[in-house]
A and B are shown apart, each in its own frame.
Chain A
Amino acid sequence: MPRKAAGSARRSPGRRRTTHERPLRLVFEIGTEELPPEAAWSGAQQIREAAGPALRAARIPFGEVVAYSTPRRIVLIVEAVAPRQEDRVREVRGPAARVAFTPDGRPTPAAEGFARAQGVPIEGLVRRATPQGEYVFATQVSPGGPTIRALSEALPGLAAGLVFPKPMRWGPDAVRFARPVRWLLALLGREVVPFQFASVVSGRTTYGHRMLSPGPFRVADTRAFESALQRHRVLLDPAGRRRVIVAAATRVAGEAAGRPILDPDLLEETIQLVEWPEAFAGRFATEFLALPREVLITVMQHHQKYFAVERPGGELLPAFVALRNGGTRGLRTVREGNEWVLRARLADARFFFEEDRKRRLETRVPELAGLVFHERLGTMAEKTQRLVSLASRLGRALSLDAETQQHLLRAAGLSKADLVTQMVRELPELQGVVGGIYARLDGEPVAVCEAIREQYLPRGSALPRSEAGAYLALVDKLDTLVTALAAGLAVSGSQDPYGLRRAAQGVVTIVLDRHLRFNVRALAEGTLDETHRSLDSGARAAAVEGTMDLLRQRLRTALIDAQISYDTVDAALDAGCDDLEDAAARARALWAFRQRAEFLRLYTAFDRAWRILPPRFDGRVRPETLQLPAERRLLSCLEDVRPRVLDAQKRGRYEETLAHLAVLAEPVDQFFTDVLVMAEDQIVRANRLALLAGVVELVRPIADLTRIVVGEGKPSGSS
């Protein structure tokens, strides 16, 4: 969701004024029924971005461009708009000069015909050299017309160009928009820009606040637009409404001896729900504070759109801050109404809480058999079983200590049980959180509760903080990937209806965050063997490959985002990425090593060796048949370096590994200088190739250096 309303200034470059008339202010307001907040934000941003190109295309010089939105309007304001378009100057190439003019410089009928066709006098033709020879040119100038006429075409185009996620139809017109368009104000200075859009005729009439100033009113001059709206109780600029909301919310919460929890998403939404914000604080009965904090906050924020209020110390107060759309009249009635509604909501929540608490969380697990995970992916009971099995495999792969492993398995077994509680049925956004709370009240170990709570992370920038939570979150996503792909669900183009890319992203984020070393492919294969016994081998392989493919894509993006050049990333990943963290470590090491002087020498040596090797070469070196010093030297270097390389590699010290390998560069160079690899004698040739194969084999597990694009070496987002 775009967070900025508008405001960045743009100057049209290098425009000369074509008249001496005073520049004018343009105001274009699309008046609508109540827009969804996202549509209001995005509509303003889109129209601001589209306005400059549209005005330039219409040859209209202009100054600063801003756009605003409220629940009932999207407004574009352009300063310093020239009253006339610029002239259109167009040069047309005519016949070749030698055809158009006689050698003594008189025009031929060809020149006359061209001048006539272009509507310019014959003297107006100019001769100019081009790469194809000298030609005759005519320059056409069509003078710019009044800007207001050009705007009559440009403005409806701007409105029609706005794109919304779920557009609607409402009238006889086929136009789609986020909500019905009810009026259009379009003024250039004091003049109406006349046009029609969505069966609405533009004019100088607008509307104030729906309740506080219900009738239409006329705007004489664009200079008075914002102040006129303000008199009619509309604060046009979302940034202004934000300031008012924050200040007022803070003030009324202060009267309740607390401060508002200004949830950023709720704040953005609230800004687009009110045209004239008025805050008030309400209270609820202290007894409801016995409910878990998350439940209270969710009921207030998500369901009632109130800001919760806390003490400076962080504990919740039995109070809330709500924003009313306008005015202090009847504020007491409004407050009492909202308190009454919240009381009913909280009473409901307490009822669900008490009902849920009559049974331990674990007794609900069998009910998951009646809850669908996805139509083609079975029930939540099946998902739970898979999670337990996957968690156990992951635990073994990571050699977790017995206690952590036990916590992880317990958390996996309980993870989905909260989905059949009344609380989560009513407040689905609290899935996981409620499970964590109930597990804590059941006396489960803290690590188990934390893992249940964190299983749906990462969400935004929030990552699992507990160890078992990270593992549970990881297997939850890995299961989604493997199971969905095994069932034939897939990602296609930009579409990701089953959230598979998001799941892959989650796996990669957690692995990199906690540096988890394990073979994902083996894990995916193992779990499919166990949970999808009836799957044929083709489908099974496709599911594993699909999983690895998505993980690899997300890992690649993550590493490129971390400022590693794409070719470095590809080189490391092509050497294998079944172990994601290992592949990432190799990419980072290669990237660091690439900044060192030895890199290019190692690259060249590898590249030469690799290029000369026939495909699938597998000869062995026979030391006794080595003839030349360069051969013997390369062999002894190889044997010298190999144990150090393998040791550093084993310890995952890849930059060190690469440094050891770089020692081979010089002997390889010498080898190519002194030795004819493709010797006549087959045995000699095979032996020399085997030497080079020894070099390639040693480098290849770290990175496929043939993927390196020399000269790239810069962090890059391209691919």
Chain B
Amino acid sequence: MNFQDMVIALERHWASYGCVIAQPYDVEMGAGTMHPATFLRALGPEPWKVAYVQPSRRPADGRYGQNPNRLYSHLQYQVVLKPAPEDVQDLYLRSLGALGIELLDHDLRFLEDDWEAPTLGAWGVGWQVFLDGQEISQFTYFQQVGGMDVPVVSAELTYGLERIAQFIQRKDNVFALVWAPGVTHGEIRRQEELEHSTYAFETADTVLLGQFFEGFEREAQRCLDARLVFPAYEYVLKCSHVFNLLDARGAVGVAERAALMGRCRALARRCAELYLVRREEMGWPLLRGPIHAA
């Protein structure tokens, strides 16, 4: 199965289950969890079912397109089911069937793994899912988001698309993956990897990035003061990405590192609190009746 067929299969699978198929968010972020469709929607009592692809940027993981397994940017397929259905594990296993994985021919394990995102004030417990010794997904029951206990527990399924594709296509090198008939991952993404790695490790203007951080933080605060959750949250995402760039460049000192992360977390928390206030004022719109029936 080529890469894009995998994505299409997952989209169809989760759409038919009743998920909203959301689009990747158009702000840089380090993980699919940071997409407002997860971070904000996981808050409060409103039910929610969503699935989407999200490019995840990890500047420090960039390897100039040279390492067969490391990428500046990889793709996560993210599913959030809120509240977590009782048969959520079975739902997940069936989705593997959609990828052509016949489970009886494989060895599948749910291995204990707790997840934490300190910049989001979020944590949960769950598993890494291993297929024949390869980690293919992360499975998490959210316990806290934005520093607050969640009133309704969401199940989050994160598929590492490149990893699964390498496993299915038996490619030792991520760039050798067949993305679409006749086109490889490397042909599409290698230049981008090289340039982003070069930028993150060599070119980035750390003074300017530091100013960006300050500016984005101020703007996020202004938005929060103006009760604008989504614009504020976008600036939090930008702060977080700028922090990751500075970190990759080795420009963040020891004490500063913890301080910058703390500032991101404080902003994320304010966004979460304001989101809850705003949703409550609106009467929790998604609580009313079946929004998207299975």
Contact = CB atoms under 8 A, between A and B. Distances in A.
Nearest to B170: A340
A333 B114 contact: no
Contacts of A347: 68, 172
A337 B167 contact: yes
A170 B141 contact: yes
Interface residues of B, number: 38
A329 B84 CA distance: 32
Contact of A33 (B108, B110, B143): B110
Nearest to A172: B83
Contacts of B102: 330
Given A325-B109, A329-B105, A166 B125 contact: yes
A337 B108 CA distance: 11
Main secondary structure of the interface of B (DSSP, over half): mixed
Interface string A205-241: 0000011100000000000000000000000000000
A36 B114 CA distance: 10
B118 to A, nearest CB: 13
Contacts of B143: 168-169
Contact of A341 (B84, B112, B134): B134
Contacts of B110: 33-34, 71
Given A182-B86, A325-B109, A344 B69 contact: yes
Interface in A330-351: 330, 333-334, 336-338, 340-344, 347-348, 351
Contacts of A36: 112
A273 interface: yes
Contacts of B127: 34
Contact of B111 (A273, A306, A333, A344): A273
B286 interface: no
Nearest to A378: B254
A168 B124 CA distance: 8
Contact of B133 (A171, A210, A338): A338
Contact of A343 (B125, B172, B250): B172
A327 B104 contact: yes
B258 interface: yes
Contacts of A306: 133
A255 to B, nearest CB: 19
Contacts of A33: 89, 110
Contacts of A333: 105-106, 132
B172 A171 contact: no
Interface string A160-186: 000000101111100000011010000
B109 A375 contact: no
B132 A211 contact: no
Contacts of B132: 333-334, 336-338, 340-341
Contact of A330 (B69, B104, B112, B152): B104
Given A182-B86, A330-B104, A379-B254, A170 B111 contact: no
Chain A: number of interface residues, binned into ranges: 35 or more
A37 B112 contact: yes
Nearest to B105: A330
A344 B114 CA distance: 25
A446 interface: no
Interface string B219-231: 0000000000000
A333 B84 CA distance: 32
Contacts of B109: 34, 273, 325
A370 B133 contact: no
Contact of A211 (B69, B104, B153, B255): B104
A558 B127 CA distance: 39
A340 B102 CA distance: 18
B107 interface: yes
A324 interface: yes
A372 interface: yes
B105 A348 contact: no
Interface in B98-128: 102-112, 114, 124-125, 127
A322 interface: yes
A329 B107 CA distance: 10
A171 B151 CA distance: 9
B209 interface: no
A615 B134 CA distance: 73
B141 A375 contact: no
A370 B253 CA distance: 7
A329 B104 contact: yes
Nearest to B110: A34
Contacts of B104: 211-212, 327, 329-330
A306 B254 CA distance: 37
A170 B83 CA distance: 8
Contacts of A340: 132, 134, 167, 170, 172
Contacts of A211: 103-104, 108
A73 to B, nearest CB: 14
A594 B84 CA distance: 67
9 contacts: A34-B109, A168-B124, A168-B143, A169-B153, A179-B125, A182-B86, A334-B132, A338-B107, A348-B69
Nearest 8 pairs of A and B residues by beta carbon: A337-B132, A330-B105, A36-B112, A34-B110, A338-B133, A341-B133, A324-B107, A168-B125
Interface of A: 33-37, 71, 166, 168-172, 179-180, 182, 210-212, 273, 304, 306, 322, 324-327, 329-330, 333-334, 336-338, 340-344, 347-348, 351, 370, 372, 375, 378-379
Given A334-B107, A340-B172, 14 more contacts: A34-B127, A168-B124, A168-B125, A169-B143, A304-B133, A322-B133, A329-B105, A330-B104, A336-B132, A337-B106, A337-B132, A337-B134, A351-B67, A372-B254
